[in-house]
Amino acid sequence: MLRRTSEHGAEEMALTGIPEGFSRVCLGGIGVEIPESFICNEELVETYNGWAEAENAARAARGEEPVPLSSAEFIVQASGIRRRHVYERNGILDPARMAPVIPARGDDELSVMAEFGLAAARKALAHAKLEPNELDLIICSAAHHQRPYPAIAIEIQQALGAQGAAFDMGLGCSSALAGLHVASNMVRSGAYRRVLVVTPELITAHLNFRDRQTHFIFGDASVAAIVEAMDHREERQGRFEVVDTRLWTRFSNGIRTNFGFLSRLAQEDPYLLEMHGNMIKQMGNKVFKEVTLAGHQFIVEFLGEYDHTPHSMRRFWLHQANARMNAMILKLALGENVDHDRAPLVLDRLGNTAAAGAIIALAENHEDMKAGELGLLCAFGAGYSIGGALLKMM
């Protein structure tokens, strides 16, 4: 483990701005795992509308209000999403089920979420040219966790054959950035030398495909990043130095899930799992407006702490929820429209992959950056929560 010792002292602080005894931090490796299967808007809407028509016939017979129909044109126009990759396609397009079929695994088998996280973790290790036994800590930070315990991170630790410790955490769609914030500060302080942050987002598993407001939004993806300590004079060509990270939170019910261990106790039969009302809910338009303003303010204030403005960023890897929202945040921040080279989009083909989205945008769009150029990784979501990382290409 890294200790707060420094051979160069004050000279180093003058050179880097980092207090004596604290480490510089870099992103040593990034891994992305995207499932092969995908579903386009037209297929999703056909299933939803097929279900809605049958549901409406039943509702009419009961004298109830019909549910509204969905539209593929609306989805692209409102969100920019054209398709989403899914961990398991089987079941989602079946109007009688409208949820992926993911069979239960035995307690002695590798769990689904750990397996998904491992795939990204192994890619991040290969990218960082590290062996699992060189990690000191593993954090699994995701919007949803398969179970409260034993921690998914500990299962990943065991499957990798890593030492040290591991724990789970989550902060909605800001989970990966919150994980990077914790990891970077732990590494900077000298508590750990190398931390793996894994974010397996199996979000279609918690999605209500019978809710027109949200059925089209999410896709599945798993990402991992390795946060490493660096020597004060070290330069790792083609890797990012993590200049700093920030987190912001304010309570809101705009995006909410009520699923938890108390859910069953509100039911008549507490031994029957009733999901109705216990899946993701979102007040899309309210969230859009409130998070656009908060996101813009966060970006300007965070960069301002370093005497930067949004204009000094070569690239923005923003949360991938809504193309219009990202365009608006950046227009507010920069006073002009920003193209996809400056602010890459992956949501058109992947949907909103919760906390994985911004990291995928980063992984796919950084190799052309020159030494010294800056970029901002920024995700926002439930809580509300916003996480940012100011990155400098070495």
**Residues designated catalytic:** 173
Smaller CB distance to ligand COA: residue 38 or 216?
Answer: 216
Least Cα distance to 225 among 127, 343, 86 occurs for: 127
326 binds ligand COA per the rule CB under 6 A: no
Residue 386 Cβ vs ligand COA, minimum distance, rounded to whole Å: 10
Q: Among residues 44, 291, 323, 393, which is the contact residue for ligand COA, using CB under 6 A?
A: 291
50 binds ligand COA per the rule CB under 6 A: no
213 binds ligand COA per the rule CB under 6 A: yes
212 binds ligand COA per the rule CB under 6 A: yes
Q: Residue 239, Cβ neighbours under 10 Å: how many? A: 20
352 binds ligand COA per the rule CB under 6 A: yes
CB-facing half-sphere around the CA of 253: CA atoms within 13 A = 1
Residue 192 Cβ vs ligand COA, minimum distance, rounded to whole Å: 30
Q: Give the type of residue at 188.
A: R
Per the DSSP assignment, residues forming a β-bridge with 391 are 242, 375
Which span (17-25, 188-196, 317-325, 361-369) binds ligand COA, by CB under 6 A?
Answer: 317-325
* Strand locations in the chain (E): 24-33, 38-40, 83-85, 137-141, 165-169, 194-201, 221-230, 240-249, 255-256, 281-282, 313-318, 374-381, 385-393
121 binds ligand COA per the rule CB under 6 A: no
CB 223 within 8 Å of CB 119: no
345 binds ligand COA per the rule CB under 6 A: no
Q: 258-265 long-range contacts, Cβ below 8 Å, gap at least 24?
A: 259/206, 261/148
255 binds ligand COA per the rule CB under 6 A: yes
Q: Among residues 243, 321, 355, 377, which is the contact residue for ligand COA, using CB under 6 A?
A: 321
Residue 143 Cβ vs ligand COA, minimum distance, rounded to whole Å: 8
153 binds ligand COA per the rule CB under 6 A: no
CB 222 within 8 Å of CB 152: no
Residue 205 Cβ vs ligand COA, minimum distance, rounded to whole Å: 16
CB 322 within 8 Å of CB 295: no
287 binds ligand COA per the rule CB under 6 A: yes
Smaller CB distance to ligand COA: residue 199 or 322?
Answer: 322
CB 326 within 8 Å of CB 345: yes
Q: Give buried/exposed letters for 123-142 (b at 16+ CB in 10 A, else e).
A: bbbebbebebebbbbbbbbb
74 binds ligand COA per the rule CB under 6 A: yes
Residues in contact with ligand COA by the rule CB under 6 A? 70-71, 74-75, 78-79, 173, 212-213, 216, 255, 284-285, 287-288, 291, 321-322, 325, 352, 381
